[in-house]
Structure 1
Amino acid sequence: LIAYWAVRRVARDQAALLHSLEALRASETRLTTATAAAELGVFEWDVASGLFNWSAGTEERMGLQPGSMPDFESWAALIEPDDLEATMQHVEESVARQAERFSYRYRFAQPNGQVRVVEGSSRAFYNDAGELARTVGVLINVTEQEAREAALRGREAQLRSILDTVPDAMVVIDDEGVIRQFSAAAEALWGYASEDVIGRDYRVLSPQDQFEQNTAKLAEYVENERDITSETIPAVGEAKDGRRFPLELRVGLARVDGKLLLTMFARDISERLAGEERLSELSSELAHVSRLSAMSELAADLAHELNQPLSATANFLAAAQMLIERGR
């Protein structure tokens, strides 16, 4: 009887063990499927031995042959030197703080010469002496994301360079009238540094007596989403020092992430208006001179027409006087 119950107990234990093993295999299968779907790599690094244990398919997803990175030395040999130094410095700083986790991002070279970028994080485990014993972490290939971000940074830098060299001042505001961008030309025109006005109401750039008019214009643009880059709008600006100056504006609209942005290009037309005023004054002076010249010509003609009969009369009078004196 005892033997019977012992066999029954062993059978139950074996069944439970088999069930646990099947559940473990199913869990490993799900983990492998999930990491493959997300293109994640899972690894364990034993610090003392320097050995790496990579999950199935990780090295292949990184463009490497299986077994290419069995230990620390082979892994470090593939990392860009600058990135390796920065990563290990970050690990040392994390260990010094006894941090539970640390993140990383580095580039490594493939056998074909191409460079891949990966990022991830690791869980750190320490021994009784507080030394790093091992880490378990994940990493993901972000090469395409890095390329897109680099291209975006390049376009942003190019756009910033263009905007900084455009002679017209550029101010970007949102549909609530908050300043979002302020170009170098705008800084020179208004006298504000960009950090002084970004986040503030755009009406700080105009005189107070223009607030109501500017608010009505902004409401019209936002409501109708009216893009008027082909039109010029007369306006008045007020600099940081209180100086007022006439402006000529062009406004363009764009939606970014569902939010309406207005880009205003502003040009100070003080010199142009002063030139036009001076030209008007010169035109008036020229017209006055022309009138004086015409009057001079008329006077000369009148003098010529009157001079002949007057000369003849004078001659006749002189002759008559001579005859009288001779008694004739």
Structure 2
Amino acid sequence: MRAFDYVRAQDAAQAVASHAQREGAVYLAGGTTLLDLVKLDVMQPTGVVDIHRLPLDRIETLPDGRVRIGAMVTNTTLAFDETIQSRYRVLSEALLSGATTQLRNKATTAGNVMQRVRCGYFRDGVSPCNKRAPGSGCAAIDGHNRNVHAVLGTSRQCIAAHPSDMCVAMAAIGATIQVQGPNGQREIAFLDFHLLPGDTPWKEHALEKDELITHVTLDPPMRNSRSAYLKLRDRASYQFALASAAVIVAVDKGAVSDARIAMGGVATKPWRAKEAEAALIGQPANEAAFQRAAQVAFQGAVPYSQNAYKIPLGMQAIVRDLMTVTA
């Protein structure tokens, strides 16, 4: 058993200060990912800063139409919030498609944003994995890569797919992440928060040292739009996406006037398909146009030995989701 220091923070400033005092410290919120990885000895924190009592559990509508979500709001609370269900249906559906009720009751908004990959080579603690042991290699490239490995945003250093459903919906909606650190507060655009693996796959996010997520603020809803989340997986519950799509579409006089498309299960970060969105705008809201946009979304995809099926599967997720929201 590895010893570690434990601190229960009363506010964000104390949490940041306590974290800064301990090299190798981690923040503990719901713990649904952290505790797993500590038990597997994949993460070996020297200190744990417990933030679950911080007063960051509110969902607020701001005067400019945005919605601010506290870092400690649970996935269950967020999914069933009346404002989220009425204005951001895609987010509620994404949250309810993930994990189980018990896990959603514990998992937090900020924890979900920080969720780590489910690659078996990362989690086994012994296989070559550049995320866990920089420079050791990526066993998944020539190994088992059917389920939780990507075809978009990959590199020769890492091909693990980002696992979050919530983050895919937020990528489609548009959001800003508020963080607090030793140098004060700042904001990070949601699409810039998660990093592509490139040559440094161990750098997973844009947080600076000791920074703590305090809020996620959603952009105002797209006017006159409908949205939906579709998750395709090996079984109907408690399984990560093989491919998923979050779409938000506005249609005017039979043509697409605005569109947002994000994908999960197929990319190394929550993947916003902006070129596919541009290909849709001005086109008739029909299956042929949706198929063309889906093809654009997967331009540049790189399949590996066992996951080439994710390209047509991901395309069909987009098409089916678009058909649903424009029916």
What TM-score bracket applies, with the shorter chain setting the length? Answer: under 0.3
TM-score w.r.t. the length of structure 1 is: 0.20
In proportion to residue count, which structure has more strand?
Answer: 1
**Please, what TM-score do these two structures have when normalized by structure 2?**
0.20
Which has the larger Rg? 1
**Relative contact order, higher structure (CA 8 A, sep 6+):** 2
